[in-house]
Amino acid sequence: MARKKKVAVKELTTALKIKCTLRKMTEYGKVLPDWNPAKEKSGRYSSSRWSSKVSKGKYPVMVYVDGDFDSHFDEGLLPEEVAYACVNFLNTPPPRKKYAKRTPKPLYGTLNVVRQHLKRDEENNAYFEMVLSTDQRKNKNFWGTGLA
């Protein structure tokens, strides 16, 4: 009987941070664009486990990431490096408010890249279509919940 091989997931290996944002989307996207169009969130939990790429206790989230990526491509960075640097920026917690007792946590939990694709829109602006894994099963910034 053959045993399954464990695939090592790439963790963030860069200290570089590139400013980026998650694109807002409606609950059903282009399938039902008029269904609750006023309410938007930053991404959606995936309904699959992505097999060996997402470990137990992590939940896959599908997002679109916007930013000024072309200037970093001109510097010679690869799209994979830019994606990891952008996720590194998203993992930084917001600044602490004055007189706050607790240190803030990242808005989306601890994110890791599972899959990323560089795409271009109609105006030839670069954006990433990503599958990220987070450690939060239910986050107010994403549609749905993570699978148990």
pLDDT digit string, tens, across residues 50-82: 666 777 888 999 999 999 999 999 999 999 999
pLDDT digit string, tens, across residues 30-50: 787 787 778 899 999 988 766
Can you give 127-148 as a three-state secondary structure string? Answer: EEEEEEEECCCCCCCEECCCCC
- Taking the C-alpha atoms of residue 10 and residue 113, their distance in angstroms, rounded to an integer, is 8
